[in-house]
Amino acid sequence: MANTVTKKQFIEDYQNEIQSLFAEDVNKASVANQYHALAQLVKRYSNRQWTSSIKKYDIDKQKQVYYFSIEFLPGRYLKPNLLNMNFLEMVREGLQDLGLDLDVIAEQEPDQGLGNGGLGRLASDFMDSMPSIGLAAHGNGIRYRYGLFRQVFVDGYQSELPDDWLRNGNDWEIRREDHAVVVRFGGNVYLQQTESGHMEPVYENSEDILAVPYDNAMIGAGELETNNLRLWSAELPHSVDNEYVTPEVRSRVKAICRDLYPDDSTYDGRILRLRQEYFFSSAGIQSIVRHFLDHHDDITELPKYVAVHINDTHPTLVIPELMRILVDDMGIDWEKAWDITTHTMTYTNHTLLAEALETWPIDAIKTEIPRIYQIIDEINRRFFMEMQGKFDDNLITSIAPIGDGSIRMAYLAVIGSSSVNGVAPLHSDLLQKDVLKGLYAISPEKFNNKTNGIALRRYVHEANEPLAKLIDSKLGKVWRDQPMAIDGLTAYADDDQFLQELAKVKQANKRAFAKFIDDKLDIQINTDAIFDVQIKRLHAYKRQVLHLFYIITEYHRIKANPKADFTPRVHIFGAKAAPSYYYAKSVIKVINEVANMINNDPEVGDKLKVVFIPNYSVSIAEKIIPAADISEQISTAGKEASGTSNMKLMANGALLAATLDGANIDIIKAAGRENEYVFGLTTAEVYKYYENNDYSAQAEYDRNPELQRVLNSLIDGSIPNIQSEGWDIHDSMLRDNDQYFVLADYADYVKTQDQISHDYLDKKAWTKKSLANIAASGAFSSDYTVARYADEIWHAPYAKDLQLLDK
């Protein structure tokens, strides 16, 4: 039921909106108020569809999916919402008639940075795709008062400032206090027999916290459906007499939803994180069960009508929480309750880093959520009972939900779910063979792969309108609706005129990006240079240092031979480091100082520039990606679960400089190896080093003089203004034997980069490769990804006929 609003109507509505919200004429209102009014109006336009979808799902008893994620990273909503409502052009023109510029107004919207990186952004891409294919699937998360920190560079060092994204309110959300639930923490709990004979928990001195939902409309493309993203906020319950609440109690409650944890994928044992995890898991499950019982009579039918998805381990407590509700509140037998629970839950793992597998000390769980501890303990006891005799005791002990004094969240998630998936074929394979090997041995049928995808609507249709329009001019609009149809572009691979037009679009995007950099950072970049982009969290395994080493190599070459031919490059970084990740922060400092050195060296001039854009975010990604020529995806093989910036960059015509890791492998397969730049150790070679324990970083160093010069430059004073940070990198390579095989891959990487510099000079051949990447990007649409989840994991129907979905 797509909305239809004419431009004339829109102009009138918009003027009225500004008038009624701010008592001003459109042209007198500040740009900030122009934004608020526009967002409010778009929300009003979309609300009818939202109500109708939610109502319809209930009336039709359509199976509903609830996607639990401790992170969502929506970025901005205004333009994607307009795009999905088919209003983008109309609103742009309407505003023009009023003398206003949509793009200027859109810049007023603060990014919603309620996630760290790939994990959270994937959740938001899914939120776009689910209603776009007509799947009834809703998000469940936390409404953090502060998003991921705002990164600034002070003397080249990362410094973190609070991201006060709610300062001017959030126009998109609806507070629904009438749907609040109580979440219980702490105190003592013991079991008491009821008159009917069942055991009931009695709580003493517990801390009750009110969870208030804030709902956000997730508008599907063409407004096929509109789903809900429900973000929970912690408040004092109304029953508490406010006069007697101490500041300590108040701040304990507030703390739960104050900050997003800025550690991307490493374990952080802070109790507050545990409280966050239980808070949104419990609130979400309570509200799902309540809603279910409003529309159904028989709770044993829950798995038929509801799927609960555990996105990484943070929401794993949904499993014992559902058990608590079924057993304690509804009096259902344990076995039946377990059957319902395991058939409702499904789980995605997102990492191969062993240190990122979340565990919680038993004592922490016992103290914070005592009843949940008892339930996990019972799950654990029954797991042993069921497995003993069937499997080796050591195996059972090694994979039980409780072990080594901790609750092992990934193991609990696997045991309590009906499906476990990785996010790219290599990742799913390594989960089975390595990270979750023991659990795979006992329940192989649960394991499967669902390769990640991206919202092409955001990253191409909206962020790269010139490219989208060029594609329209050849294929019509079908590729927007059926993403695989973009492979129709391969028919133009030898069409000189089309290739020139494509090159022109890239060039225009590079100019727009150069202007952005000039305005923002006062750095002037050469738009004829290769724009070489690495945008992702700063992490040792992602190997930003390998990229850095190549930059230093290029610099040394220019200095040694300033007159030699050189294909100019601009190296572009965007990356935040976890505030407590010392090494990652050293890498940022060194990149910034190398950038200073190079960018200010007159002998280098236009040949080489390094731009580290501070505060990388979704909206900044949307500016960088359309301008990229090279996509750096250079993690150690076997470490990156999937990656998604690789997909976003390919869809915008960048070529891979990549290892055979994560979804790079699938991109290379789809676009053709001849259209990418592949280098480095394979996963098998990396594992061989592990097995034989025979890797020597020193030997790599000793055999390569160019590499020696790079490493020496980190510690010999030739990079101005770095202190111990150069040593940090140097030590990680030589003293600590280079855990991520940077030195092993250096020579091949440099060779590959040199090839890139050579090939870029043949514009036509380059553009052809770029075209091959764009033409192969349809397969990576998250519309297909969520359709596969729906078909194979959730068993939930969706309305859209994805004609080219290959299963």
| Cα–Cα distances in angstroms (integers) from residue 406 to residues 347, 376, 399, 471, 694, in the given order | 20, 11, 12, 54, 33
* Catalytic status, residue 344: no
Which stretch in 111-119, 126-134, 271-279, 738-746 sits in contact with ligand CJB by CB under 6 A?
A: 111-119
Catalytic pick among 316, 644, 659, 785: 644
Closer by beta carbon to ligand CJB, 423 or else 588:
423
Catalytic pick among 350, 408, 427, 539: 350
Counting contacts by CB under 6 A, is residue 64 touching ligand CJB? no
Q: Quote the CA–CA distance of 541 and 256 in Å, as a whole number.
A: 31
Name 359's bridge partners: 408
Catalytic pick among 536, 547, 609, 788: 536
CB of 410 to ligand CJB, least distance (A): 11
Closer by beta carbon to ligand CJB, 353 or else 747:
353
Q: Quick one: which H or E segment has residue 402? A: strand 402-403
What x/- string results for residues 430 through 469 when contact with ligand CJB is judged by CB under 6 A? ----------------------x-----------------
* Catalytic status, residue 350: yes
* Catalytic status, residue 536: yes
The tokens of 88 are what?
A: 């983008």
Counting contacts by CB under 6 A, is residue 117 touching ligand CJB? yes
Name 640's bridge partners: none
Four-point Cα dihedral 508, 510, 516, 520, nearest 10: -160
Closer by beta carbon to ligand CJB, 5 or else 353:
353
- Crossing angle of helices 544-560 and 705-713, in 10° steps, is 100
Counting contacts by CB under 6 A, is residue 644 touching ligand CJB? yes
Closer by beta carbon to ligand CJB, 530 or else 647:
647
Subset of residues 707 to 766 that bind ligand CJB, contact rule: CB under 6 A: none
DSSP 719: S
Closer by beta carbon to ligand CJB, 608 or else 624:
624
Among 223, 264, 277, 745, the residue binding ligand CJB under the rule CB under 6 A is: 264
Q: Quote the CA–CA distance of 378 and 191 in Å, as a whole number.
A: 14
Counting contacts by CB under 6 A, is residue 664 touching ligand CJB? no
- Crossing angle of helices 582-599 and 544-560, in 10° steps, is 20
- Helix, strand, coil percentages for the chain (3-state, nearest 5): 55, 15, 30
Subset of residues 144 to 183 that bind ligand CJB, contact rule: CB under 6 A: none
Counting contacts by CB under 6 A, is residue 78 touching ligand CJB? no
Q: Which residue has the tokens 């079908």?
A: 478
Counting contacts by CB under 6 A, is residue 119 touching ligand CJB? yes
Counting contacts by CB under 6 A, is residue 643 touching ligand CJB? yes
Among 662, 680, 726, 778, the residue binding ligand CJB under the rule CB under 6 A is: 662
CA 707 to chain centre: 34
DSSP 259: B
Among 53, 316, 341, 351, the residue binding ligand CJB under the rule CB under 6 A is: 351
Counting contacts by CB under 6 A, is residue 350 touching ligand CJB? yes
CB of 27 to ligand CJB, least distance (A): 43
* Catalytic status, residue 537: yes
Burial of 410 (0-12, 13-18, 19+ CB in 10 A): buried
DSSP assignment string, 329-398: IT---HHHHHHHHHHHEEEE-----GGGS-EEEHHHHHHH-HHHHHHHHHHHHHHHHHHBTTB-HHHHHH
Under rule CB under 6 A, how many of the chain's residues touch ligand CJB?
Answer: 19
Closer by beta carbon to ligand CJB, 123 or else 545:
123
* Catalytic status, residue 569: no
Q: Most distant CA pair in the chain: distance in Å?
A: 93
* Catalytic status, residue 589: no
Which stretch in 13-21, 175-183, 350-358, 745-753 sits in contact with ligand CJB by CB under 6 A?
A: 350-358
Contacting positions for ligand CJB (CB under 6 A): 116-119, 122, 264-265, 312, 350-351, 356, 423, 452, 640-644, 662
Active site residues: 350, 536-537, 542, 644, 648
